Chains A and B, each alone.
Chain A
């Protein structure tokens, strides 16, 4: 059903309709509205359980217990909250416990900032969680049911990432899938193993060097294999909802015949779509590749980059003292697959620094002269254009 609704509330409604048994949250801007909405739903009897815990550490720990007991478990957080969960994120994945976090991407301290970037979730890329990044609120509501399905089919936890403020607090028209549609798509969880006195098992054991590596590499292999589940669920969800986002792993936009590509993740890619539309009208052959599934990392995305005159990776994350993470991974995949395309790296948009359509045009322009590696500082006096997407204000709104 189409509704004009805030992104957070829409996500909460879909999370509710996925029928979670256990929800436990702790408030942190900008994910708080999701938590508050779920709490309200609990007080109205719309979800079975909601616990307002004393920390994100307890929220994720409750999810571990709940999932181990065979329940469907959900939480939302971001930034410091996700960082506080760090230790348990690894344990949850290692224990092969399905669960879903919606992460409302926000920067990390210090300095403190409540605004958007991807440093929080990108820092958890090695935790064993599947990570899906959304470009808009429609995709966020479409991704939550898929996340539960993928997670419960693979016994790997899934993090749905959508940008704090740019999306969480944006009021726009969203087509919210009906509860019946979700119910049909997402059957009740049937746990392969659980804490059950009738059939006692021991979970979370310790392993000596003879076994430890085997467990970790099994998880790694299974996360890689989960790419098939991500693709399959995109198809399946597309069939019931009529909406698809690329092949589930990445989404291309005018990429096929493009000479130059802009590669990135999250809501900035909607602005990038506007930039491409505008530049195409001006006869410039530009296109986009949006990484939707960051873990498992879809290295086959290189096929979409091969043969271009140039490509740039724009990302809202830094690996302190090294190349930017997404750039480094794309560049290594290109090398491995023999794609000899000049690749540029732009880091920007940290702590909510707006990335406008004009900025994206400028970046496209810059890489024509050869590969660039830089921090995009934003305030370039680029022309701002009016567009009718999202908040409808100016180009920063999407």
Chain B
């Protein structure tokens, strides 16, 4: 072993280029390395650990377009200490970043198949890079559909992306909200109800699901009802994370380390754990 081993626990400084508001509690940070050089390559579904001076780390998925040269992008929901501080960061501010970490969505493996993306709330953020990749290679896939659920119309993320995607004839986009005022013309109710609306070939379909655990459980039920195979359903799991590289033990979920064996799991890898309480 050599002295030059990369230290996975050491953040590198990144400068904030833009802090853009998505909704009342969600914002998107664009960052680039302070030291000359490009942002690291990432795969859809991977995450970074974002450090803000003196406060701590938060695991945040990369939400930008991996097929384009652009700053590293993170879409963040204000939750507690770290995310509140991140929300206040102005362009020019510097963060510490470690990553990218984790097992990505099986976007490459899904080539030749129909692809369903099922997102709940902030869960759209880690799925957006997958969507960008699918669209950049559109002819390699069969039908593509996005089912996206949010609390209210005001909580919808990425409106301009959504509008653009809805305008395409090679893509089905279904959006649903839990509650809405009367001027909302879209669906109301849980996102899982939308799945039945799509047309896809169940024997040749891959589904990528990200959202709160309960939403993922119901989504899987619905997908299975529509005869999609367990081995073709993928979920992105969430647990407390300190190290992101398999040292701290915090993210354990049964036999899995969510940070290094996930966060994306094939449904049959976590099937026996999902229904259980306090795993």
Binding partners A and B = no
